[in-house]
Amino acid sequence: MTKGNFVFHNNVEIPNLGFGTWQIPNEEAYDAVTMALKNGYTHIDTALAYKNEENVGKAIKDFDISREDVFITSKLPAQTKGYDETMDAFNETISNLGVDYLDLYLIHAPWPWDEKGKDYTEGNIQSWKAMEKLYNDGKIRAIGVSNFEISDIQALLDNCDIVPMANQIPFYVGRDQEELLTFCKQHEIVVEAYSPLATGQLLDNQDVKDMADKYSVTPAQLLIRYCLERDTLPLPKSTHEERIKQNKQVDFEISQDDLKQLMDMEDVRK
């Protein structure tokens, strides 16, 4: 990691904190992304499935920032598998966003959401080949996956040419996925942490609150900092300017003892 950036194995740099837009409806996405840009975010994460790409793209376009100064990620829908299908979905995404290239494009999940766990290896391989082609043609600066387990990534390593540059997974205090982290590190795959606040469920946790007080930060800031300390790239989401601003102010260090305490916490998922 260079200062403020992670570096992919192809040397493309990605700002080490991104603005997540999952669950931000299209009507609210314009204002939310504008607030993020205003507060210094230069990395915006969206997906075709979020149905907000249009206003994410419009907000970026209307803001006084040049295209190459914003890092834009989008994702191939989980149910879209296959070479031609991937090309079509990519074209839909760049047209929605109003851009001519993406910084990062991810396979959203190894299986359609309503068939979680089903084997779509062949479909993923064909989609990956399309993404390799788009990458080689200069349409995408980096390609990766999301919600992939070790075996899903291994199938791409065994059958394709380009090692994914990123794996975006749910990652937060209590949900560390150590084996997957180690595997990704071995293959120089950057791990991006979505839902770094456990979609908000960790914010009222007493242990988190107590530790945040000790550092004079908010629970959200502690949880976001935790991701960085674990070498993962957090993608916090908010539609409130005060929070958007706060979530980016995470320039402090968590001590080794406190880090260990956080690593030992249970998963809060209900």
User: What is the greatest pairwise CA distance in the chain?
Assistant: 53
For the CB of residue 181, give the shortest distance to ligand A2P in the complex, in Å. Answer: 18
30 is catalytic: no
Q: Give the CA count within 13 Å in the CB-facing half-sphere of 82.
A: 6
- Choose between 162 and 227: whose C-beta lies nearer to ligand A2P: 227
Residue from 30, 41, 50, 226 carrying the catalytic annotation = 50
Interface with ligand A2P in residues 32-91 (CB under 6 A): none
Asked if residue 108 binds ligand A2P (CB under 6 A), the reply is no
Smallest Cα–Cα separation from 153: which of 130, 181, 174? 181
Return the residue of 15, 20, 77, 174 that touches ligand A2P, per CB under 6 A: 20
For the CB of residue 115, give the shortest distance to ligand A2P in the complex, in Å. Answer: 24
For the CB of residue 177, give the shortest distance to ligand A2P in the complex, in Å. Answer: 15
Pairing state between β 13-15 and 5-7: antiparallel
For the CB of residue 219, give the shortest distance to ligand A2P in the complex, in Å. Answer: 7
Count of residues that bind ligand A2P according to CB under 6 A: 18
| DSSP conformation letters of 39-81 | TT--EEE--GGGT-HHHHHHHHHHSS--GGGSEEEEEE-TT--
Asked if residue 99 binds ligand A2P (CB under 6 A), the reply is no
Q: Can you tell me whether residue 20 is helix, strand or coil?
A: strand
* Structure-token match 């120089």, residue found: 188
Smallest Cα–Cα separation from 30: which of 49, 58, 2? 58
Interface with ligand A2P in residues 224-253 (CB under 6 A): 236-240, 243, 246-247
Determine the Cα–Cα distance for residues 250 and 101; give it in Å rounded to an integer. 30
Determine the Cα–Cα distance for residues 19 and 199; give it in Å rounded to an integer. 14
Binding-site string for ligand A2P from residue 161 to residue 200, where x marks contact by CB under 6 A and - marks none: ----------------------------------xxxxxx
For the CB of residue 100, give the shortest distance to ligand A2P in the complex, in Å. Answer: 29
Catalytic residues: 50
Give the residues lining the site for ligand A2P (CB under 6 A).
Answer: 20, 195-200, 203, 218, 220, 236-240, 243, 246-247
